[in-house]
Amino acid sequence: MKQSLQLKLGQQLTMTPQLQQAIRLLQLSTLDLQTEIQEALETNPMLDVADDEATSDYSGEGPELDFVNGKELTSKGEEVTTNSREDHEDHTPDGEWSSEIPTELAVDTSWDDVYQSAPTGTGLSRPENEDMDFESRRGTSESLQDYLSWQLNLTPMSDLDRYVAEAIIDAVGSSGMLVQSVEDIWEGLTKDFPELEMDEVMAVLHRLQQFDPPGVVSQDLADCLLIQLRQLPKTLPSYDVAMNLVQHYLPLLGSRDFKQLMRKLRVKETELQEAIRIIQSLNPRPGERIGEDTTEYVVPDVFVKKEHNRWMVQLNPDIAPKLRINADYASLVRRADSSNDNTFLRDNLQEARWFIKSLQSRNETLLKVATCIVERQQAFLDHGPEAMKPMVLHDVAEMVEMHESTISRVTTQKYMHTPQGIFELKYFFSSHVSTESGGECSSTAIRAIIKKLVAAENPRKPLSDSKITALLEDQGIHVARRTIAKYRESLGIAPSNERKRLV
């Protein structure tokens, strides 16, 4: 084959570094965005946090990033632009630090007599609300094993019993129950102590079961409940019935076969109901009371509120600081200079401009998508989930003239604060179900109706999936029974046989 040169013309889509950065920032959550901004501030000297009263003499730095732009929607969906800005106090200290240490000091001299206090925000002074900020200053939380070991150290035992107790504590799971059988623990201990008997292990186990929280170091659920029942006053009504139920008929209680329970226990319905009330007051997982608190708080990205019959959409001004170009460093850049220092400053200046522009694009896109969602879901904001309208990504993409993938990135891990509560933006997207009148009903609205029907049902005769299907058909909503089961499971609602109660 003969080699030759050919010239072809064509078009190819190339993702520039600026576009890649804008897409990456677009899909970041609030916490990830704050981390990204902090990392950019630490690595790029051209970026600086802008104060409200700060002014810049450098004209080529690009626009300052403002997170407080908002939009209003009238009742007809018309868009009204509003701007707001928060004022911040200037914490610049009046004085300066002393630079020399006196050679001789008076006996009653204090630190503040020689040095001035550190300015607020430097991390060197104690904040005013330090006493209230206990959770942030708390160290790693105590685990269940640590809590049990602490109680073990306060309990007088022989060396052998303490060794056995430590082995049992190591086998306790996060729920407070043993993850190994007592036989397996005994077999593991006999390798070091061949003369150890099973009765000695059981004696130490029963001693550990007296530790706090009640019900800990139990072998199974029945054992856990019995330990807690023994610590209750025996004078409680139906106490003996509750003990007998837990010891012999706990599976029947799990299946809610109340008629069989009354026949086996030979009690009346009121006595059985009182015994069940005692059992329900117990904790089946006592170990979860001890341990690390993993509560996570959601920071909304968008605020929605109604003022003068208009829905106003506003970005959260506290999710990220305002950024600007550092005018002092930017003024050092020279056009004709090709030195390493000047090249470093020029590259960082360009990166800072791209970063600020990408953040502006992120906020504008987020505000535009949130405004479109509010415009389509005004009935939900006024009346709740049952008034949710069906909406998919394609509907919003057409309104804002963007690609569906962009809408998907914007609505992932972004939250909106509404009068109905805080919801992820993806919550407002749902498929539709045809109604008898020819309209459409959102799957979110159907879930809300199912939740409302279950909340109002008779506990003695809970609604089955077939019955819920029939009730929805009476409202003109045609949904298959298997679809009702799927929606019910997504709501965390148990089947009808498990929702049965004695009242």
What pLDDT, on the 0 to 100 scale, is given for residue 150? Answer: 92
The answer as to CATH 3.30.40.10 being correct for domain 432-498 is no
What pLDDT, on the 0 to 100 scale, is given for residue 202? Answer: 92
Residue-wise pLDDT tens digits, 153-171: 999 989 999 999 999 999 9
pLDDT surpasses 80 at 435: no
pLDDT band, very low/low/confident/very high, at 58 (cuts 50, 70, 90): very low
pLDDT band, very low/low/confident/very high, at 63 (cuts 50, 70, 90): very low
What pLDDT, on the 0 to 100 scale, is given for residue 141? Answer: 63
What pLDDT, on the 0 to 100 scale, is given for residue 438? Answer: 58
Q: Distance between CA atoms of 421 and 423, rounded to whole angstroms?
A: 6
pLDDT band, very low/low/confident/very high, at 416 (cuts 50, 70, 90): very high
Average pLDDT, the chain: 79
CA distances from 221 to 26, 49, 174, 206, 256 (A): 48, 56, 14, 16, 17
Residue 396 CB-density burial (10 A; 0-12 exposed, 13-18 middle, 19+ buried): buried
CA distances from 456 to 137, 163, 333 (A): 45, 55, 71
- Facing residues of 417 across strands? 303, 422
What pLDDT, on the 0 to 100 scale, is given for residue 109? Answer: 52
DSSP code string of 164-178: HHHHHHHTB-TTSBB
Every domain of the chain and the residues it spans: 16-83+296-376+395-428, 144-289, 432-498
Q: Distance between CA atoms of 45 and 333, rounded to whole angstroms?
A: 13
Residue-wise pLDDT tens digits, 241-295: 999 999 998 888 888 888 888 888 898 988 898 999 999 899 999 988 886 556 6
What pLDDT, on the 0 to 100 scale, is given for residue 106? Answer: 55
pLDDT surpasses 70 at 83: no
What pLDDT, on the 0 to 100 scale, is given for residue 11? Answer: 81
Provide, rounded to the nearest whole percent, the portion of the chain with pLDDT above 90: 17
Name the residue with tokens 């150290």.
153
pLDDT band, very low/low/confident/very high, at 463 (cuts 50, 70, 90): confident
Average pLDDT for 84-104: 45
pLDDT surpasses 70 at 186: yes
Give the helix/strand (H/E) hosting 158: none
